[in-house]
Structure 1
Amino acid sequence: MRQTFLAVLSLSAMAALLTGCGGDMVLLNSKGPVAEGQSNLMMIAIYLMLLVVIPSVIMALWFGWKYRASNKDAEYKPTWAHSTTIEIIVWGIPVIIIGILAWLTWWGSHKYDPYRPLESDKAPLTVQVIAEQFKWVFIYPEQNIATVNELRFPEKTPLSLRITSNFTMNSFFIPALSGQIYAMAGMQTHLNMLADETGVFRGFSSNYSGYGFSQMHFKAHSVTEAQFANWVESVKTGNGISVNPEAIQKGILDQTEFATLRDGNRSTHQIEAMIANAETPEEKAAAEALTPYPTKPHPVTYYSSVEPKLFESVINKYMSNYHGADHSAPAAGHANAAHENVEHATASGEE
């Protein structure tokens, strides 16, 4: 009896944690139209399924009580085999619910397609997102600035994200504003979102990508248009710390600086194991030369300018065999052509 009680208590606690009771209920407290629509679809689906689950649970308990061995008044029909009414109910209601869920899935998939631009009287803000090794790099091509592990944008303004990866596949996710979308090397995915109000929202990678995966999170700041313009101007003039004193201000984000963002080769435990298992002095020296992954997230960093087409170069270097051409170090003409091909492929995906 005690073990049964503990098992039920453990399952109840786990269910409370999974549903967000007493914790972060961000999926049910969305701050943007996309996340709100997805949350509503999720709740509608749950309510529809409860139309089957709740009556089934109630009837299971009721049948067990009514037809218990001690109830001598229960109706006994040993030759009963079929009821058309029951067949219609147990098959008809689920079929109707599944049909409604299928329509909602089709409608929601088109309505909240991450590639679909949001309707607004304001022009969208374009941000290029690069999933670097256990950190996020955000490039603002129109403002010619960049950040690491911080995303800022004005409220009630559509945000158009262009997302890729400079190492393994990752997943970009700001639960309060939109669903997740993958970041893949050599490819470009799109995500459109909007914040209805100002605030700071949690962003992270929702796809396990290695030992330093737990450090791959950032803050998304929704601010007023005046605050955003002031922040952009501060970063461009090398004074971004006036807005965020905890940030690090740097100059240009070029290929040389971008390469320094790739920090760490192995986890500390992996390096120690490699040193211990080295069979030759050369292997041991090579293992000792490795640097461990950081145990804390990369600090927020601002860049006052960005090398032109840095985002496109990250995509192109993973397309060295694209149409038989070498894009690992493209000339200007080849880089532009490759960029046009990437944009064309993306546009075709949107259509």
Structure 2
Amino acid sequence: MLRLSPLIALCPLLGGCLPAGGSLLDPAGPVALQQRAWLIEITLWMMIVILPVFILVPLVAWRYRRRRRADYAPGWTFSWPLEFIVWGVPCLVVAGMAWLILAREQPLGPARPLPGDAPPLQVEVVALDWKWLFIYPQSGLATVDRLVIPRGRQVALHLTSDATMQSFFIPALGSQIYAMAGMVTSLHLRADRPGTLSGMNTQFNGMKFQDDRFEVDVLDPDAWQAWQAAHAGAPALDAHAYRVLTNPGDLKQTLHDFGQPPDARLAFTAPNGLFASIVAHSAQMPGEMK
């Protein structure tokens, strides 16, 4: 056991073994920033219950250990002050946490737009096995496993699935939400600093679940406009290309299916109404598995 002690002491350091931009503890937007504050506050609330347990259990065991001079009190069975502490304090903690979560979470609900004057960037998200298709209806573009957004601008995401149910989560931006076939869910996020963040599917849904990740590139507004212009001539996402996308497999397999090198980035020009047609198709055949 003594030999393992140094290794056990190093275990907390494994918490830093996350992809760059992949942690709620390093927020890149207002939603994740508020969620990190909630996490800290809830942890402190829980310490009101947890710390006395860790402190009093060894003290009580020591105080009432078997010994010659120990007091014997067979008639002691009940104490109102002790009952109040044992039940009252946890009830107050639960009430405080309920207020913290219910009252302060409402303004940052996934479907609620974030404060701001600029109109949000509309992005339509389609969950596939095991990849993500991002459609930008305002510019007619689509990308695979790469979400490109401008810094400082609210993004309104509308999500569905053309496969199994999946869970969309960008830890550094906050608010996990499900994507389901035949349904549309909404999520509002904003990134306040440029860089590359990590997103993932947190819903176990098959053999490639662990590889179902995507990049979030946050660009300065001018760079984002340049990115749109650079992809204006991308190949069309026609029916054949979309069928290839829906084949089960991760991004590496999809790139191989399109005859692209493993480090390529897939981008298309998307037809109008593609997202609505995917939702309608899935709603008509809810039991079909591709």
How far apart are residue 232 of structure 1 and its match?
0.5
2:119 alignment counterpart: 123
User: Greater CA radius of gyration, 1 or 2?
Assistant: 1
| Distance in 1 of aligned mates of 2:274 and 2:242 | 9
Whichever residue aligns with residue 222 of structure 2, its letter is A
| Distance in 1 of aligned mates of 2:113 and 2:119 | 11
Whichever residue aligns with residue 301 of structure 1, its letter is L
Provide closer, same or farther for how the CA distance between residues 295 and 177 of structure 1 changes in structure 2, counting only shifts above 3 A.
Answer: closer
2:245 alignment counterpart: 261
Matched, 1:142 2:126: no
TM-score, with length taken from structure 1? 0.72
Instruction: Map Cα deviations across residues 289-326 of structure 1 (whole Å, 9 max, x no partner).
Output: xxxx45846452111x211100000001122279xxxx
1:315 alignment counterpart: 279
How far apart are residue 217 of structure 1 and its match?
0.9
How far apart are residue 7 of structure 1 and its match?
9.5
| Distance in 2 of aligned mates of 1:234 and 1:181 | 31
- Checking the alignment, whether the CA contact within 8 Å between 2:170 and 2:200 is kept in structure 1 is yes
- Checking the alignment, whether the CA contact within 8 Å between 1:38 and 1:112 is kept in structure 2 is no
Whichever residue aligns with residue 90 of structure 2, its letter is P
1:222 alignment counterpart: 218
How far apart are residue 263 of structure 1 and its match?
2.6
More contact order relative to length (CA 8 Å, sep ≥ 6)? 2
1:57 alignment counterpart: 54
Aligned pairs for 1:91-110 (under 5 A) are: 91-110=87-106
Whichever residue aligns with residue 23 of structure 1, its letter is C
Provide closer, same or farther for how the CA distance between residues 321 and 29 of structure 1 changes in structure 2, counting only shifts above 3 A.
Answer: closer
TM-score, with length taken from structure 2? 0.86
1:44 alignment counterpart: 41
| Distance in 1 of aligned mates of 2:58 and 2:253 | 51
2:260 alignment counterpart: none
Runs of 4+ that moved beyond 3 A = 5-14, 72-76, 293-299
- Checking the alignment, whether the CA contact within 8 Å between 1:147 and 1:301 is kept in structure 2 is yes
2:261 alignment counterpart: none
How far apart are residue 68 of structure 1 and its match?
2.0
| Distance in 1 of aligned mates of 2:15 and 2:208 | 28
| Distance in 1 of aligned mates of 2:48 and 2:73 | 29
Instruction: Map Cα deviations across residues 91-127 of structure 1 (whole Å, 9 max, x no partner).
Output: 2211111111111221244122100000012211000
2:267 alignment counterpart: 302
Q: Which has the higher helix share?
A: 1
Instruction: Map Cα deviations across residues 126-167 of structure 1 (whole Å, 9 max, x no partner).
Output: 000011221111110001111111111111110100101111
- Checking the alignment, whether the CA contact within 8 Å between 1:156 and 1:197 is kept in structure 2 is yes
Aligned pairs for 1:160-239 (under 5 A) are: 160-236=156-232, 238=233
1:23 alignment counterpart: 17
Provide closer, same or farther for how the CA distance between residues 177 and 61 of structure 1 changes in structure 2, counting only shifts above 3 A.
Answer: same
Structure 2: which 5+ residue stretches go unaligned?
Answer: 255-263
| Distance in 2 of aligned mates of 1:170 and 1:234 | 31
| Distance in 2 of aligned mates of 1:129 and 1:37 | 24
Provide closer, same or farther for how the CA distance between residues 155 and 74 of structure 1 changes in structure 2, counting only shifts above 3 A.
Answer: farther
| Distance in 2 of aligned mates of 1:302 and 1:156 | 23
Provide closer, same or farther for how the CA distance between residues 21 and 217 of structure 1 changes in structure 2, counting only shifts above 3 A.
Answer: closer
* Identical positions, percent: 32
| Distance in 2 of aligned mates of 1:234 and 1:319 | 35
| Distance in 2 of aligned mates of 1:128 and 1:64 | 59
Q: Secondary structure at 2:139's aligned position in 1? A: coil
- Checking the alignment, whether the CA contact within 8 Å between 1:152 and 1:220 is kept in structure 2 is yes
Provide closer, same or farther for how the CA distance between residues 110 and 212 of structure 1 changes in structure 2, counting only shifts above 3 A.
Answer: same
What is the count of residue pairs matched by the alignment? 274
Matched, 1:32 2:29: yes
Whichever residue aligns with residue 111 of structure 1, its letter is P
2:77 alignment counterpart: 81
